[in-house]
Structure 1
Amino acid sequence: MADRIISGRTHDAYMTVRDHIADGWAASVCTVPKDAPKGEELIKLDTVFEREDVAWKSVERFARAELNNLK
């Protein structure tokens, strides 16, 4: 599955949800300074959810909160 990106004023948040065999859906979010390569990210959330839609909602909520804290 493709990453989704949310841009804040000073940082970008990359969100990923992928199928985690037999456990559910693994969701990750990382924030990087604007225009920084994604390869230097620090993962802030890496957890497993039972459903894909719940994983996307949770990871997006977390990403928006992180970006708001970095204003």
Structure 2
Amino acid sequence: METVLIVVEFILAIIMIALVLMQQSKSDGLKGLTGGSSQESFFAKNRGRTGEAFLKKLTVIVAVLFAINTIAMNLI
């Protein structure tokens, strides 16, 4: 049983790393220092319905599964 949980933990960790790396950066970089304003685009207004929102939700789900698996490993 322990071996299965360790393998699942490893797989969840790899998936979580990949999901975090696939997400876009939230910072404006140097544009924020120079006073540049970000334009409101269709993509910016509809973020909840895009692939970015899907990645965010999937990351939360994988993180919760990772936490549950970690607790299960400590209880055994």
Shorter-normalised TM-score: what interval? 0.3 to 0.5
Structure with more strand by fraction: 1
Using the size of structure 1 for normalisation, the TM-score is: 0.35
Answer with 1 or 2: which has the greater Rg: 2
